[in-house]
Structure formats: structure tokens, C-alpha cells
Homo-oligomer: A and B are copies of this chain.
Amino acid sequence: MRRESKPIRIGPVTVGGGAPIVVQSMTKTDTRDAAATVRQLHALAGVGCELARLAVPDTEAAQALPRIKKESPLPLIADIHFDHRLALASLGAGVDGLRLNPGNIGAPERVAAVVRAARERAVPIRVGVNAGSLPQDARRGSVAERMVAAALAQVRQLEALDFDLIKVSLKAFDVPTTVAAYTGIAPLIPYPLHLGITESGLARAGTVRSAVGLGVLLFLGIGDTVRVSLTGPPEEEVAVAYEILKSLNLRQRGATLVSCPTCGRIETDLESLARAVEAHLQKIDKPLKVAVMGCVVNGPGEAADADVGIACGKGRGVLFRGGVKLRTVEEQDYLSALLAEIEKLAAP
């Protein structure tokens, strides 16, 4: 059971209210460099990113926004800290969402001005906290409790201004802390939740940490949009986000390769075969399931369960399609036989 949430719209993309869980990322280019930023937005759109956030740290960055917005294939969310004029400029440039905390914008009239402008344009605001920047004056308690209190304070500030196009995040590096924070706030507010594990690190460690943290929350039914944070190219963040969602059957994107880890029973170069098949599957849009299996123990069962599969024995393998054994294939023909079947199924 997914947690119910009040839907918001960021440009044409619905977040919450039972909509498919939205995959987002953030540009890592210098926002002042509009051309580079637009290139990265196109790259992100190409791998299935659905929303893009970009930092707007200064006036020059804000001045690049109109061109970026005009050429962006994705709805844009401006990430603002400290300076309410940057939020107003971003709204003026037509961004589709804001990420800011009223608590760090300063004087109440400045917050009110930003909220008024956002309301006029029906632009949602994400508020939230990172464990790394909790206000010093947050009340006592565990880190997760302080995160919930701090996020609630931001929410209440917007609600007091009669604004409810709200999305909320509570990010930490520590997974149990993150899970406790999101599960803590989930029943207290009706707004959609943006999931993320902050500063999760380089590819392998960050991928695992994000998959565990987001996986647990999504399994618990919590989360309306996800952002995987990795020190590396943002396209990789999107790829990992989809793998997380696919593993819980929450989204489909492209083909899925089932391949065995191999063991002392293996009698073929399964890893090379699996890599060659995966490279080919990158180009397939349909949600096909392809199995590349290395022995007779689990091979036939998994291969038969896939749309296309092969169970490789000594020098020959058995090709399956849709649970039906097609024929025996010689080792040198494994790849071509699989690709031929994949082509047929992938044809429009």
C-alpha cells in the first residue's frame, strides 16, 4: 500500500496522488553556462529523467535561466538558498518548481513575496532538511526527530501563508536515520515526499546506499519522487533510480537482464555473453525480460520464466521463448540466436 499524498504538478509532471514515482536528477554544470546546462538536460532526458533541478547560486545563474528554460526538454526546479531575489528571478524565468526553505530566506516579507509569486504561477515549492544542515536551534531528540521537527517548521511557514503546493524531503547519509525521518513525517503531512540519501558517495558505495535507503522506503509505500545522489555523471543517477524502481516493480524502463553469477558448474564464458546481450538491450525500449543462465540447476527454470532465455550447458544450450523450449543451440551461436529472438520481440 502506497502512502496517499496530495498531488502537485511540476510543469506537466504530476508528483504524488498515486502518479507513477517520478525520477529526477540535478544538473552538475555551471548554471551560468547555459549551453552546457542545456546539453546536460538533453542527456538527462535521453536516459529517462523526468524532472531536473539546477542550482541558482547567484544573479548570473538566474540570468541564464530564461535561455535554459526555453531550450530544456525537462521541467526545471530552481534550487535556491539565502537570497529571495534569486527565487523571484527564477520564477520570472518560468521555472516549474522551487527548492528552498523559507527558514533560510530571511525576513518574513521576503518569504511572503516568494510564496505570492509561486502561488500566482502555480509553482510548487519543495521544503526539507538535510541532516548536514539542521538548524542549530532544532529541538532536542534523535537526529531523525530533529529532522522531522525542522521540516515541519518549514511546512508550517508555507501553510501559514496559505500555500499548499508543497513537496517535502528529509535527507541524511545514514540510512536508518533517513528511514526514521521519512516514516516519522509521513503520517503528519498530506504532501508528496521527495526521497534521497545525501552525499552517498562514489558509484558503488553510493549506489548501494541509495538502493538500500530508497528501497526500504519505497517498500514501505513511502515516496512520490526519487533522486539518487552520486558523485559522478547525473545520467548514472537516473540509471540507478530506474534500477531501484524496477527492482520493486514500481516502474518499467527498457529490458531487464537476468543472468546467473556462474559457479564451478559453468562450462561457457557466461559473463561475456551476458555483457554482449546487455549492450544490445540498452537499445530496446520494451520491458522485455531476457535470461542468460549457465547451468542445468536453475537455468531452465529462470530461462523459461523470461520472455527470451538461454540455459547453457556443455557446448550447447537450450533456447526458450515465453516459457516454451524453442531448440538446442551450439555454443558459437548463443549470442546470435538470442539476439534474433530479442529482435523479433522488440519489433514494434
- Given contact pairs A201-B258, A231-B274, A274-B202, A301 touches B131 in the complex (Cβ within 8 A): yes
Contact B305 A132, beta carbon cutoff 8 Å: yes
With beta carbons under 8 angstroms apart, the residue of B264, B298, B300 that contacts A61 is B264
B133 touches A247 (CB 8 A): no
In whole Å, how far is A243's beta carbon from the nearest beta carbon of chain B?
4
The answer to whether B244 and A261 have CB atoms under 8 Å apart is: no
Q: Whole-angstrom distance between the alpha carbons of A230 and B264 in the complex?
A: 14
Interface residue A257 (Cβ < 8 Å from any Cβ of B): yes
Chain B residue nearest in CB terms to A250: B176
A291 located at the interface, meaning its Cβ lies under 8 Å from any Cβ of chain B in the complex: yes
Among the stretches A88-96, A114-122, A213-221, A321-329, the one at the interface with B is: A213-221
Interface string of A265-304 (1 = CB under 8 A from B): 1100011001100100000000000011100011111100
CB closest residue in chain B, given A275: B202
Cβ-defined contact, B299 with A243, below 8 A: no
Candidates B55, B215, B275; contact of A212 at CB < 8 Å: B215
- Do the beta carbons of A265 and B57 come within 8 Å of each other? yes
A208-B211, A215-B211, A263-B26 known; A298 and B257 CB under 8 Å?
no
Chain B contacts for A31, CB-based, 8 A: 264
Count this chain's copies in the assembly: 2
Cβ of A173: which chain B residues have Cβ within 8 Å of it? 258, 302
B275 and A28 contact, CB distance less than 8 A:
no
A157 in the interface, Cβ–Cβ < 8 Å?
no
Given contacts A204-B239, A209-B243, A215-B212, contact A261 B229 (CB under 8 A): yes
> A243 is contacted by which of B176, B204, B302 (Cβ under 8 Å)?
B204
CB distance from A281 to the nearest CB of B (A): 10
A250 → chain B, closest Cβ, in Å? 10
Query: In this assembly, does A79 line the interface, its C-beta being within 8 Å of a C-beta of chain B?
Result: yes
In the complex the two chains form, is B27's CB within 8 Å of A264's CB?
A: yes
Q: Mark A158-195, 1 if CB is under 8 A from B, else 0.
A: 00000000000000011110010000000000000000
- CA of A232 to CA of B270 in the docked complex: distance in angstroms? 9
Contact between A201 and B301 (Cβ–Cβ < 8 Å)? no
**Is A231 a contact partner of B260 (Cβ separation < 8 A)?**
yes
Is A127's beta carbon under 8 Å from chain B?
no
Say whether A224 faces chain B, with CB atoms less than 8 Å apart: no
Provide the residues of chain B in CB contact with A54, threshold 8 Å. 263-264
**Chain B residues within 8 Å of A198, by CB:** 260, 298, 302
Contact B247 A208 (CB under 8 A): yes
Contact (Cβ within 8 A) B208 A260: no
Which residue of B is nearest A263, CB measured? B55
Complex Cα distance, B295 from A81, in Å, reads 12
Q: Is B133 touching A231 in the complex (CB atoms < 8 A)?
A: no
Give the residues in chain B near A208, CB-CB below 8 Å.
Answer: 207, 211, 240, 243-244, 247
Nearest 5 pairs of A and B residues by beta carbon: A212-B215, A132-B301, A55-B264, A211-B211, A132-B302
Q: Which residues of A contact B (CB under 8 A)?
A: 26-32, 37, 53-57, 61, 79, 81, 130-134, 173-176, 179, 198-202, 204-209, 211-216, 219, 229-232, 234, 237, 239-240, 243-244, 247-249, 256-266, 270-271, 274-275, 278, 291-293, 297-302, 305
**Please, could you name 6 A-B residue pairs with CB atoms under 8 Å apart, sorted by A?**
A28-B263, A130-B298, A131-B302, A132-B298, A209-B243, A231-B270
